[in-house]
Structure 1
Amino acid sequence: MNQQGLPTTPGGDWARYWRDPDRPLEAMHAHFVRHVFHLHSHDAYSFAVTESGAQRFHCRGGGHTSTTGMIMAFNPDDPHDGEAAEELGFTYRIMHIGPEVVRDVLDDITGGRAALPLFDRPVVDDPVLACALRRLHPALVGGADPLVREERLTAAVTAMVRRNASNRTGSAVPRELSGGPTRGLSGSGRLLAARRVRALLDEEYERDLTAQELADAAGCSRFALYRAFRAVYGMPPSDYHRLLRLRKARRLLAAGRSAADAAALSGFADQAHFHRWFVRSFGVTPGAFGRAGAGAG
């Protein structure tokens, strides 16, 4: 094992794999120096962000190289191989997203008017998509709240299709995915949907809520509710959900509860996750916040 607790080989290779138990979503974070991928394909869309080094591979009749910051994009059943293109190897994060998952996201955005995308370029230099994928990967493997995972999955799929999908299917890209005007809720409908979602979050923030539950409460699609909530309240539903938990934790800490109790009682999956977000949001550790009131009065 290496210092990160990951499996290693004599060449210094390591890999960490994650798989969703309920739907075709998989992800891997890996570093390869000696490993050589035999020609293979996946029954899913595969998108990989190269974090360091370079990987070379063959796909669709040509040779390609992905260097730091670039993206490898494979359609389902695209045969490809792969190996390090530099002596020190390469590190990358790859996500395999089943066509049915992509279809579900696109149907929610467009009302069923988008064809499944195809990608002509096996290597893409797109900082916006790379950022979306780098945000999605830790949300998948790190056990993020369902709302966070769905929001980042939607953002990544939208960036993939809007910025890089070809039109080989013969279907026009709907305006929602091309960056043009969208068919959204009216002003009053947007406000009503956002208020309904906020009411549900206010009442049940201690449990994990799904994007579909919020959509059902709002009476619109998941994509529409996300845009409505952000327009009205200035943040996505997942951020507001987390904020409600952090506010409860602050109250518990102020009342003298331990950081571990505050994390558990406010709905955080683990104390490390709670600690990280508390510091990011308030600039002080939970322990320091709790001690601040000691001896006051």
Structure 2
Amino acid sequence: MDGDTRKAQSDWISRSESTHGVERIEAFFHGNAYSMHRHDTYAIGLTLAGVQCFHYRRGLRTSLPGQTMVLHPDEVHDGQAGTNEGFRYQMIYVQPAAIQEVLGGRPLPFVEGGVTTDPRLFEATQTALRQMRGDAEPLERDDALAGLALALDNASGARQTRKSADFAAAQRAREYLHASCTHTVTLDELALVSGQDRWSLSRDFRTFYGTSPYHYLVMRRLEAARAMMLRGVSLVDAAAAAGFADQSHMTRHFRHAYGIPPARWLAMTSDRRAG
């Protein structure tokens, strides 16, 4: 991330500028990190190492790796290390208006206690921290926001009241993604093609195809790249032809999708085919 700010010799904060109502930070602290304060955003994050403690809603909370912190807008809290080793964490700050765009006017989700072990919210937070970068594609960012908002709503135990999903609209969006998978696609484009508003489409696409529009797009790109690699096209050329920004961009998504880098996958696949 850009804009590193050093608070002390061994404590540091790395932050990204706010984009479309979302800001990301990563930080490491010993001892007391923050005094009591409040802000008008959700603060949703993961402790990466150590023990992170904070006072929140009349109690002392503890966050460990594998858990998710969810601080509701305008709730007073602080932050400090729970051990002498300090703690490292990542946090994403999201404007309530951005959550409302996805949830369509439902009450803002509230997760009791400030720390949760909900697996869907943990995964959505990991995805948001990974995908909501300054250089991310517009659809990638929108997908991460939608996934985070829906997981937050689910973790809060809110009763689902939305209208029936629109299969025909999701199907039109899917066909458009197939036809345009080598190009940058925005959620606005998909909304225009499908005839739905952007966030209804994002929710319905997940209902019918089990994944987000952006992840669906990336998987089509990866399928195209794998086919080209098997035909002898170099990794760098396959990445460009499939629609990735560069080889490293493809490799990052490849590892996330398949668990191994493309060069190793190609070597193992070629050995098996040769055998």
Q: TM-score range by the shorter chain?
A: 0.7 to 0.9
Question: Relative to structure 1, is the Cα distance of residues 251 and 61 closer, same or farther in structure 2, using a 3 angstrom cutoff?
Answer: closer
User: Which position in structure 2 is the counterpart of 1:179?
Assistant: none
Q: Secondary structure at the match of 2:88?
A: strand
User: Which position in structure 2 is the counterpart of 1:135?
Assistant: 127
> What are the within-5 Å matches in structure 2 for residues 184-223 of structure 1?
184-185=164-165, 189-190=166-167, 192-223=168-199
User: Which position in structure 2 is the counterpart of 1:40?
Assistant: 37
User: Which position in structure 1 is the counterpart of 2:201?
Assistant: 225
Deviations 1:48-67 (A, max 9, x none): 22233222222344433333
Give the aligned length: 267
CA distance in 1, matches of 2:45, 2:155: 16
User: Which position in structure 2 is the counterpart of 1:126?
Assistant: 118
Question: Relative to structure 1, is the Cα distance of residues 10 and 42 closer, same or farther in structure 2, using a 3 angstrom cutoff?
Answer: closer
Question: Relative to structure 1, is the Cα distance of residues 80 and 235 closer, same or farther in structure 2, using a 3 angstrom cutoff?
Answer: closer
Question: C-alpha displacement at 1:277, in angstroms?
Answer: 3.1
Deviations 1:227-269 (A, max 9, x none): 5445555543223311332233345445654322322232212
User: Which position in structure 1 is the counterpart of 2:262?
Assistant: 285
What 5-or-longer segments of structure 2 have no aligned partner?
none
2:99 matches 1:102: yes
User: Which position in structure 1 is the counterpart of 2:153?
Assistant: 161
2:132 matches 1:152: no
Q: TM-score, normalised by structure 2?
A: 0.79
CA distance in 2, matches of 1:175, 1:235: 19
Question: C-alpha displacement at 1:46, in angstroms?
Answer: 0.9
User: Which position in structure 2 is the counterpart of 1:78?
Assistant: 75
Q: For the aligned residues, what is the CA RMSD?
A: 3.3
CA distance in 1, matches of 2:23, 2:103: 19
Deviations 1:134-182 (A, max 9, x none): 22211113844433432332222222233227xxxxxxx5524xxxxx5
CA distance in 1, matches of 2:247, 2:174: 26
Question: Relative to structure 1, is the Cα distance of residues 59 and 282 closer, same or farther in structure 2, using a 3 angstrom cutoff?
Answer: closer
User: Which position in structure 1 is the counterpart of 2:251?
Assistant: 275
Q: Which letter does structure 2 place at the counterpart of 1:138?
A: R
Question: Relative to structure 1, is the Cα distance of residues 121 and 277 closer, same or farther in structure 2, using a 3 angstrom cutoff?
Answer: closer
User: Looking at CA atoms only, which structure, 1 or 2, has the larger radius of gyration?
Assistant: 1
Q: TM-score, normalised by structure 1?
A: 0.74
User: Which position in structure 2 is the counterpart of 1:55?
Assistant: 52
Q: Which letter does structure 1 place at the counterpart of 2:123?
A: C
Question: Relative to structure 1, is the Cα distance of residues 284 and 78 closer, same or farther in structure 2, using a 3 angstrom cutoff?
Answer: closer
